[in-house]
Every structure is written in structure tokens, then in C-alpha cells.
Amino acid sequence: MTLRRLGRCGVAAGALWAAACSGGGTQPPGPPNDLVISGGDAQSWYFDNPLPTPLSVTVVDVSSRAVPGVVVTWSVASGGGAVSPLQSTTNASGVATTTDSVGSSTRQTVNATFTGLAGPVTFSEFATSPPTSVGVGVTSFVFTPRDTIVQSGGMVTWTWNSGSTPHNVSYTSGPAPLPTNSPDQSGTTTFSTTFTAVGTYTYHCTLHPQMTGSVRVLH
């Protein structure tokens, strides 16, 4: 029985069949037939900032096998903003991607298509303003939330609720010059920084280096 099962895929069948068996198909993919969204749809992000996840589609043949080498054309269908690049070619897995930034609209749609496809597939993306004021808790050896986003010109305020254990906010990286660090503080108190430079800042508590956090400043 074992030998019979091996008949199609065994060594004796030869290199061609062995390759076919490992690849799961006996023929190369046919012409592109359809386009399927494979990532990046329905994200909620901020005006005029690139979405965290690129938009991606998979081009398949009539048997749903991925088709490499197909040029996919991307276009903003409504709402403004921009995709880049406007064309991308499917890779070995049949996947093409582009980055997308929603403009000043709360909802944007993006079409993807290739020559010969009956109609495009459509992504829907959403955007709001980044917050201008963000609060972070300084409690039992953790900043909560650890990572925050604030609009350029906005303020982050840390509020201590740490009993008698002192903590501080000390910047470790970010656009120069780094903001002023907080003093060591305990009890119930606050510390604020206004961020004017776009970029990502990291900070920690020098007394407890495992306490880390970040502030991402968006325009």
C-alpha cells in the first residue's frame, strides 16, 4: 500500500512530478481571472497620515490559484487622499500592495483592478483627527496606556497614582531636542509635555527601566 501511495509523488516518479506534488498543482496558473482583497480593508486611522497596514489584493486564476506578474492599478475612488504607488505587480504569491493615506474626509474608498477585470474591488477606509490631549496613568510600575498618539501641538499628561513609590518620565529617543524630563514624583500628581515635532518619542522611568512608553506625534 505504501508503495502504491508513493506512486504519484515518490522519487521514482521523477523530478517533474516531485515538483508538482510539492507545489500542490500540476500546472502553472492560468490567466488572471479575479482579484481578492487580502489585507488593509476597513481601517480606522487619522487624516492625512498613512494607514498602518498597506492595502493588498491577491490575483487568482479561474481555479483560485495565485497569479504572479500581474500589474494592479490603484485609484482613490472617493474621499480624497492618495495611494502610492498607483500601480504594483503581484509577487510570487499573487499579492500586490500599495500604501494609502486618507485625506481630510472621514471616509475614503480605493479601487484596485487589472486590465481585463470586469470591475474593480473597493476598499473602505476611515479617518478622524488625532487627539489633541491624551492622558497616561503612572501606576504600579507601568505606564497606561504604554503607547499613545497625539496631534502635533497637542499635550500628553501623565497622572501619578503610585502611592509612595517615586517614578519619572525620561525621554530616551525622538526628534531632537528631546522634551524636558519630569522630576521623580510620587503620590497623586501630574506632568505634561506639549509635542510640536512630528515623530515617535520613547521614554522610560529611570528608577524602573522596565517602565517604558512611547508617544507618536502625527501632523
What distance, in Å, lies between the first and last C-alpha atoms of the chain? 67
Q: Which is nearer to Cu ion, 28 or 141 (CB)?
A: 141
Write down the least CB distance from residue 158 to Cu ion, Å.
11
x-marked contacts with Cu ion along 136-175 as a string, rule CB under 5 A: -------------------------------x--------
Q: Which is nearer to Cu ion, 111 or 144 (CB)?
A: 144
Return the closest-CA partner of residue 200 out of 157, 144, 152.
152
Cβ–Cβ under 8 Å, residues 168 and 206? yes
| Rounded distance between C-alpha atoms, residue 35 and residue 15, angstroms | 32
- For the segment 185-214, give every residue that binds Cu ion (CB under 5 A): 205, 207-208, 211
Write down the least CB distance from residue 179 to Cu ion, Å.
18
Q: Which helix (H) or strand (E) holds 213?
A: strand 208-218
Q: Which is nearer to Cu ion, 59 or 167 (CB)?
A: 167
Q: Which is nearer to Cu ion, 70 or 205 (CB)?
A: 205
| Rounded distance between C-alpha atoms, residue 166 and residue 180, angstroms | 18
In terms of phi and psi (left: phi > 0; alpha: psi -120 to 50; beta: otherwise), the region of 42 is left
Write down the least CB distance from residue 168 to Cu ion, Å.
7
Write down the least CB distance from residue 147 to Cu ion, Å.
17
Write down the least CB distance from residue 214 to Cu ion, Å.
16
Burial 13-32 (b: 16+ CB within 10 A, else e): eeeebeebeeeeeeeebeeb
Q: Which is nearer to Cu ion, 98 or 167 (CB)?
A: 167
| Rounded distance between C-alpha atoms, residue 33 and residue 45, angstroms | 32
| Rounded distance between C-alpha atoms, residue 148 and residue 130, angstroms | 10
| Rounded distance between C-alpha atoms, residue 214 and residue 86, angstroms | 33
Write down the least CB distance from residue 154 to Cu ion, Å.
24
Write down the least CB distance from residue 207 to Cu ion, Å.
4
Number of residues near Cu ion (by CB under 5 A) = 5
Q: Which is nearer to Cu ion, 114 or 201 (CB)?
A: 201
Q: Which is nearer to Cu ion, 65 or 208 (CB)?
A: 208
Contact positions vs Cu ion (CB under 5 A): 167, 205, 207-208, 211
